[in-house]
Structure 1
């Protein structure tokens, strides 16, 4: 099982340091989340900068809110990042569920699923070199169909989208929910006549290090998930033994990759996590 690192979003100026540390510590992927009506760096722009500061580690959005972006522009941005990173970029994408993001983009939230389905089909066609609204849009990506697409979500329609348009499933649910979601993905995958199996990427929030680092992470997670109204939702794992056991459980579950999402902006967490888990 590969291990990815979700970089903290509260201090964009520290992302370069975090990315270099993650590559040196032999993490496999760097991920950045996406919001519009929130104080976070725009992920495609930020990952382009991080691509230039690294040479091996993969780069991924987790998850990009596709419907908030114009399809042709998104195709160009992704293909550019894919080419300039040497094929290291993976597109994690989903619809999002926050009213404020969609209001800021001027997009009715009720249309987001239909728009994403149309967008995913169009992205593949653009990357294959087919015209979009009569225009050819470059550059062409590294692979003929573009970079791998991993789709996140919980609703049945989102899980069907993995089989229809994706290469894999981003499961951000706790492990005790994940089995049911994954069974549905496998059923939809088989029903669509797909061969092989979908890639499975899972995620846990983490915070290690001094008490002040852990407390900053807890506050940041609570702020990020405040919209749910659920106290303690997404609280980060901070006990090293519990964290090691959790990683082992996801490995036994069959995850291809597990992302450890950091919310505190302490770059020293990278080495501490590596020491616990490697």
Structure 2
């Protein structure tokens, strides 16, 4: 058992995006393992399943796992409709939704959605303000009534932010409940320290929830090669894509070491993103993490 100062660190499964029909089996296996969360990535101009629709389906085949977007590119979406979708999923899952959001960085995603890439941060701030009001049951405007249903979770589902830059890290403390960090142990601490500093500056009670993301693939060489190819294609737009692929963990000892490193940093949860499409990934991870 890996523990932190605040207690036992939990583990999530990041679902592969290349085989939507197979995700039910992944969810059922995770439900029976030592996992707390199902995570799912988001893109628009890509061959991936839409995360809110997919997690709504998986909510129906699970009972205890949290359903987490990592991260939903909120500025691509209209805020009132997004608020309604998130509240509905939180309601149907009995409060199991964690809405992880971020601004995204793909110009083609914004082109396809008809939104501006350069103003995505300001748009996200405005979206969150609107969604918070709607989740509290307030009217949309003086001339437009409230938009239901109310979420199961009072005030709205748990809200986490994917962030790297100072403005985005400050947004965690201003609007959210914590950070989603797709960063390796070597440079994740600066992100955690920044968020905790902003948290204190905003005089927020308690501490921010910190969720780390680790890319992994376990199995035969052909499984790992397939996972690397899938990850490389997904992050082809990113200047750090090759280093991310190179950093994929493929050995049990690497996974245990990373989990312990994050625990020592006070991380609350580690989500292991599996780019291999073989659902045996779930069982292999379960054996390693216990």
Short-chain TM bin: over 0.9
The runs of 4+ residues in structure 1 deviating greater than 2 Å are 229-233
The correspondence for 1:35, drawn from 31, 43, 52, is 43
Which runs of 5 or more structure 2 residues have no equivalent in the other structure? Answer: 1-8
Q: What does residue 245 of structure 1 align with?
A: 257
Q: What does residue 101 of structure 1 align with?
A: 109
Q: What does residue 269 of structure 1 align with?
A: 281
Larger mean Cα displacement after TM superposition, 180-189 or 256-265: 180-189
| Separation of aligned partners in 1, 2:61 and 2:243 | 33
Let me know the Cα RMSD of the aligned residues.
1.0
Matched, 1:218 2:228: yes
Q: Secondary structure at the match of 2:13?
A: strand
Matched, 1:46 2:54: yes
Matched, 1:65 2:65: no
| Separation of aligned partners in 1, 2:31 and 2:132 | 30
| Separation of aligned partners in 2, 1:142 and 1:244 | 35
* TM-score where L is the length of structure 1: 0.98
Q: Which deviations, in whole Å up to 9, do the C-alpha atoms of 1:80-114 show, x marking residues without a partner? A: 00010011111000101111111111111011000
Which runs of 5 or more structure 1 residues have no equivalent in the other structure? Answer: none
Q: CA deviation at 1:231?
A: 5.9
| Separation of aligned partners in 2, 1:128 and 1:91 | 16
Matched, 1:260 2:272: yes
Contact 2:90 2:153 in 1 (8 A): no
Residues 229, 178 of structure 1: CA spacing in aligned structure 2 closer, same or farther, 3 A cutoff? closer
Matched, 1:79 2:91: no
Q: What does residue 140 of structure 1 align with?
A: 150
The correspondence for 1:227, drawn from 233, 237, 247, is 237
Q: Secondary structure at the match of 2:111?
A: helix
Q: CA deviation at 1:230?
A: 4.1
User: Aligned ranges for residues 136-215 of structure 1 at < 5 Å?
Assistant: 136-215=146-225
Q: Which deviations, in whole Å up to 9, do the C-alpha atoms of 1:141-166 show, x marking residues without a partner? A: 11221111000110111001001100
Q: CA deviation at 1:242?
A: 1.4
Q: Which deviations, in whole Å up to 9, do the C-alpha atoms of 1:248-271 show, x marking residues without a partner? A: 111111110000001111001100
Q: What does residue 123 of structure 1 align with?
A: 131
Q: Secondary structure at the match of 1:135?
A: strand
Larger mean Cα displacement after TM superposition, 180-189 or 257-266: 180-189
Query: Greater helix percent: which structure?
Result: 1
Q: What does residue 4 of structure 2 align with?
A: none
* Total equivalences in the alignment: 278
Larger mean Cα displacement after TM superposition, 259-268 or 171-180: 171-180
Contact 1:151 1:168 in 2 (8 A): yes
| Separation of aligned partners in 1, 2:120 and 2:230 | 27
Residues 111, 256 of structure 1: CA spacing in aligned structure 2 closer, same or farther, 3 A cutoff? same
